[in-house]
Structure 1
Amino acid sequence: MQFKILIKRGVTLAILMLLVWSCKNTPTPKPRAYFRISFPEHKYDSLENKYPYFFEYPQYTRIIQDKAVNAEPYWINIDYPAYNGKIHLSYKVVKNNLADMLEDNRKLAYKHSIKADAIGEKLFMAPEKKVYGILYDIKGDAASSIQFFLTDSVRNFLRGSLYFNAIPNKDSLAPVVDFVKEDIMHMMETFEWKSLPKTK
């Protein structure tokens, strides 16, 4: 009988010690986390033969004709439905105004410097295809993370900008931006100019 009482007291004492010991641990807040995003393998299709330019675009996107009020012919959007984002592409014919186009493009990219932590510029040149451009890598909580242009410096000019339909947050969007940036680089590397389609 004495032995059973001793065992009960020992177990009770052990439980009390555990409770006291566990109360001494100060809880620490967990760092903010974001949902893990899984990405498909990068695979590409060829753009239809109805534009004055050609490139390979991701199979997991949709090419949508730009329906904005001020949209011009050959303006398209590359829609990323899974990530709620779009690459807006606008095409213009150069008419002795390349310097103005380049300056307008630079202003549009650096308009985001208010919210950006930094803006990197990557020069792109493919002289054998007469494709030259700059990719603007916009870091921080700017509305657009990537902007770029491509030109043959004589007749054709194409401008692109990446936007997400979400509040800009560099931490949560960073994996998606990196994923899309690889697609944009592939697009620039496969880019070619074609003659303008005949209008009816």
Structure 2
Amino acid sequence: MGVFTRFAEVLEDDDSTMSVKTALAIINRVWEEIDNEILASFDAETQVALAWFGSYGFEARSSGELITLATAKNTAINALFTAGVFSDLKGKTALTPRDKLPADWSPARDKTPTVWECVQHTARVLNAPDGGAESAGQLVAEMGARAPDARALVDRLFRIATEKGWASEALVYNQLAEEWPHLLDRASESGAPTPISGTGDLFA
């Protein structure tokens, strides 16, 4: 949008004057395309979790709604429970709250780690009495190639929480975004290969 402040006018392909409204529509379309590409890079379990979070947050709902989402992503509902992403509440289901996640989880030891787990466990460990930045940095180190997707998911979750007015959830992801560069530094210090940082930035 800075182009509009630097030049007298911005032209369309046919040399007619482009309006700010048209420019915003183009920008929004490009951002949507980028978002769709990022979403497609997530594992299926994370895609289901993200769709659920966007509608219900961590609220419990009928298991039938999860079955519908899982089917759309060609994912078995049992895989969502086994991964620990969702909790089976006998007729209802919900995303597993961070305070119910296993304290000893590690992406290096998990046979099928998901990007969703990477983000939620890192957020949990960062603020845990027995955790902190060093422990969270170790998780980032163990994520390996999943780290950029985890960082991108943090941005997406922050955006959703902000739009929904979920202040406490937005704060969790805002803090994680601010700490991420430091967690990467700690991951490097751990001796593990440094994960790619990704390009997401909540403050751009």
For the pair shown, the structure with the greater C-alpha radius of gyration is: 1
Provide the TM-score with structure 2 as the length reference: 0.25
Bigger strand share:
1
Provide the TM-score with structure 1 as the length reference: 0.25
Bigger helix share:
2
Q: Which has the higher contact order (CA 8 A, sep 6+)?
A: 1
